[in-house]
Amino acid sequence: MKNICVIGVGYVGLTTAACFSDLGNKVVAVDISEERVANLKKAIMPIYEPGMSELVERNMQAKRLFFTTSYEEGLADAEFVFICVGTPSGVDGEADLRYVRQAAETIAKTMKHPLIIINKSTVPVGTGDWVSNIVHETQPNPIDFAVVSCPEFLREGAAISDFNNPDRTVLGSTNREAADKVAQLHLPLRAPIIVTDLRTAEMIKYASNAFLATKISFINEIARVCESLGADVKEVAAGMGYDKRIGNRFLEAGIGYGGSCFPKDVQALAHMANVHGKHPQLLTAVMEINDNQRLHVIRKLEEMIGSVEGKVIGLLGLAFKQDTDDMREAPSITVADYLHEHKATVRAYDPVAAENALKLMPYLQMSEDPYELATGCDALIVVTPWNEFKQLDMERVRDVMRQAILVDARNLYEPQAMRDLGFAYRGIGRGYDGNGEPV
């Protein structure tokens, strides 16, 4: 059993704390929000993540997982301290490191014995050295410490599974002994461990997310070409995916990526490139394609319905992806804001993200279920691919709509099946319909 402190209890911090405690370690998680800590002590989660509530409650009851606002309590017995605070985008796309600085300074002022400080947050290349300098400069008295980069590779909605079954663990440090100790901490996960220097480890994280975002933008661009040529992008992607050099993951055409990672990380990497005089042509194109894809969905709707003014439009899903309540950079925001600005009535249904969505879009008319949403609508747009949407009674949906217009921005449904039911249907890159029109 190791003694671990985790700073920050957002997606990354809470997952890190809960999963390490579930491996038999003692973990004290620190957060500056008194309300968040008080709720966690009652097993009230600050995020929606499948299985998280049960995992946290089980390990609290086993006296392995604790929550506090006190750095002194968190660091008292700790050998490892994970920095898992937010790094939002700044004005020019750079990562805002104010919370990382605050954590590093407070750790430096509070520590009473040697520590291994682990950057888990996604941070710009060079941050490990920067954190090391902050700790050195802030310590009241010199105490040994080492800084290790251990970037996270967690998907929202699958964070627990991703933590327990990683493709790899990446570690970077100038102190090999410290890196080896952090490697030992991860051995129970039985995944390949890559040990490198600080800056390379930090770059691996950015390069990985940028590449995955590139795959999404690539298949969305191919989808637009498919619409012009009459090919079906789902079959194109399937055919591509059998090639082991390509793989089938992240080749699902749709409304584009969102969330807390891809938009922020691609933008931050492009910013780093620009600062150092390197023109990030590919990264710029990835971001432009992603932004345009949201507008492409809106154009599809307008091609079918004409002006949206005075129309009632229903959004099936609001969160940026299924199995989360995260609205950060959600494509639904772009779509809903456009519709609202053009004087449409915007209705929506999401199984878990309604509360967060209303904070950003108070004009939304929220529904209790998809059928209530569809009632009286002139069109529906599938925005988030929740599993429950795949099994809807589409005849019932059709019958309660004012106009049976369906824009499937996630390609959940088969075009011919929807047309057979009487829907005017448009997906993303699904070839031609019987009249030679793009689907």
Active site residue 261: yes
User: Looking at residue 161, what is its pLDDT?
Assistant: 97
Lowest mean pLDDT, pick from 90-99, 141-150, 179-188:
90-99
Mean of pLDDT values over 121-132: 95
Q: Give the pLDDT of residue 146.
A: 98
Phi and psi angles of residue 408, each rounded to the nearest 5 degrees, phi first: -95, 85
User: Which is nearest to 197 in space by CA: 132, 144, 143?
Assistant: 132
Residue 281 pLDDT: 97
Q: What angle do CA 346, 350, 354 make, to 5 degrees?
A: 75
Give the residue-averaged pLDDT of 389-407.
Answer: 98
Residue pointed to by tokens 């899903």: 317
User: Which residues touch 224 (CB under 8 Å, ≥6 apart)?
Assistant: 296, 429
Q: Which two tokens stand for residue 437?
A: 């029109």
Question: Which of these is catalytic: 5, 150, 226, 261?
Answer: 261
- With cut-offs at 50, 70 and 90, classify the pLDDT of residue 434: low
Which among 104, 101, 114 is positioned nearest to 135, based on CA atoms?
104
Which tokens in the block code for residue 145? 């410490």
The whole-angstrom separation of Cα 385 and Cα 393 is: 16
Residue 215 sits at φ, ψ, to 5 deg, of -60, -40
Of 224-233, 285-294, 393-402, 425-434, the one with minimum mean pLDDT is: 425-434
* Residue pLDDT, tens place only, 57-74: 999 999 999 999 999 999
Please name each of the domains of the chain with its CATH number: 3-196 (3.40.50.720), 230-426 (3.40.50.720)
The 10s digit of each residue's pLDDT in 293-351 is 999 999 999 999 999 999 999 999 999 999 999 999 999 999 999 999 999 999 999 99
Q: What mean pLDDT comes out for the span 381-387?
A: 98
Phi, psi (deg, nearest 5) at residue 351: -60, -30
Residue 94 has pLDDT above 90, yes or no: no
pLDDT category, 436, cuts 50, 70, 90? low
In which band, very low, low, confident or very high, does the pLDDT at 431 lie, cut at 50, 70 and 90? confident
What percentage of residues in the chain have a pLDDT greater than 70?
99
